Structure 1
Amino acid sequence: MGEIIAAKVKSILVYPVKSCRGISVLQAPVTSTGFRWDRQWMIVNENGRMYTQRVEPKLALVQIEFPSEAFVEGWEPSSNSCMVIRAPGMGLLKVSLSKPRAKVDDVSVWEWSGSALDEGAEAAEWFSKYIGKTSRLVRFDSATQTRSTDPDYARGYKTMFSDQYPFLLISQGSLDALNRHLKEPIPIDRFRANIVVEGCKPFSEDLWKDIKVNKLTFSCVKLCSRCKMTTINQQTAVANPEVTETLQGFRSDTILLPNKKPKGQVYMGQNLVWKDCYGGGGNSKVIRLGDPVSVLRQVSSTAEAAA
């Protein structure tokens, strides 16, 4: 099928520290593992296992600040460049964006384990105090480590500390449709999207297989199954099950995917990989607010979507 302009980019969000608050930006450089800086850091327990809001909802209140120039294509940090971290009741934590030196082994996120770069004692003490449990802040070591995406859905691609895939896209129309079912409308921050688009019908993204954002081509590899984090208010860290219960009523696998074996999941949004990430080319590799989103290929119904 031909190229159809279906939507435009409304918001771009980057989450440097897994499960902490995201940063809304005007533009973001695209890499093979996701937006630059996205989920490059993670908080781990004394056994190297990830902490997320599922178990520690107060991570929702941890704010991350970056130099604005960090999202300009080609920018490289100097020895003075820092990520600034804030949380209620805590002093400022500054983490150098220049690579730390110490390595730590046996860091794990879901099924993957490997080594990472340790951000040191000050960051460890800060997060241990805030969470109330022994913690360390670690950085993905892309020089020595690879974390592959599920080959059943996206063979040959990789990510850093995101749950499964490099990018997550949701339409504003889908959020608006959900909010019509909820007693209290919720903002998009519940869904941890990287790209929010507008101008398309609710859940149009279910059908998309290949899309172009500006001049960059992405494959939509899997509907995003939603977890407990969508129930956590990102301003208060308090959970309310209404979101999941409501999605169960019209976005469950039994409803959307009647020909597939039910897994007890609810879905909202599409996981993406950057299709031409290994192809070179001279075009700017940045996504900006307002960029057009074209659909290159789509399925005819949600029942045909990968999930």
Structure 2
Amino acid sequence: MQETLFCFRVGHLLPYAMSYSNTTHFINPSSFILLGIPGLEAAHGWISISFCVMYMIAVLGNVTILFIVKREPSLHGPMYYFLCMLAITDLVLCTSIVPKMLSIFWFNSREINFSACLTQMFFVHCFSTVGSGIFVAMALDRYVAICNPLRHSTILTNRMVAKIGLAVLLRGGLLLLPYPFLASQWPYCRTNIIPHSYCEHIAVVKLACADIRVSSYYSLSLAIFLTGMDVFFIAASYVQILRAIFSLPTKDARLKTFGTCGSHLCVILVSYIPALFSFLTHRFGHNVPLHVHILISNAYLLVPLMLHPLIFGMRTKQIRDRLIRLVILKGTKLFS
């Protein structure tokens, strides 16, 4: 088993492995051991710096967006409510992963409780799905605002926005609940060592000494169905948006209208392209080294979380102007 080889390759994990060496069968191990990024142990310190920087940018950026939207009554509208939902989702997602990951890299704290591992698994996959649903909601908001502007305020009322947000959250929660439920049912009798930096679903269930095709097929079907459906609705919305933009009479009007969608398109691209690359590499890149798989898996989660607030901060004029005004105001008070 590849997982067992990792046990012998990393000397300081031998005590954990030996504690289970005399156990032939355990349904639910008390804990799992996360290896971090196997094969790159010497570089864990440098890798942790980049992950820590991305985490700090994601937290600071998303908290800033939430603060600005809450502070400015003029930003209390559907577009910014969805942006706040995305910010909260990103905060939950990165906080579910990075603190434990950094504890592995910095303090060699590799052990994670069985229940905590399943909880992390649920939060990571659930809120990744929620984030994808919010992209669809944001595309819907842009579609109504550009293609049917006179009815925007009557269609996307605060109540409707709240219903959409609740539907997106319930979709993610209900569809991803079988992940930890099924994982908790499998018997784990070979090893409890996970060759990954967090409790990724497939990385965990592969440790089970049982037929895990139900988990594997459900995971694959869900990824194809949800991602395909979300990408279809986003693409359909933006096709209609682009048709409306190109039908405008002047170039300035077209550029101004397209500018309102630019940040959304950038965020969607930086979110779906790395995820697609990771999915294809995981499914078909059998000759790709394990540490490359794990690095890609981490990057497709963390890089978009860092870029989301940066893109919205730079490309959304209303947020950019309020942020600059806030910085100038604070600076004036500081030096006055």
- TM-score, normalised relative to structure 1: 0.22
Greater fraction of residues in helix: 2
Q: Does 1 or 2 have the higher relative contact order (CA < 8 Å, sep 6+)?
A: 2
> Greater Rg, structure 1 or structure 2?
2
- TM-score, normalised relative to structure 2: 0.20
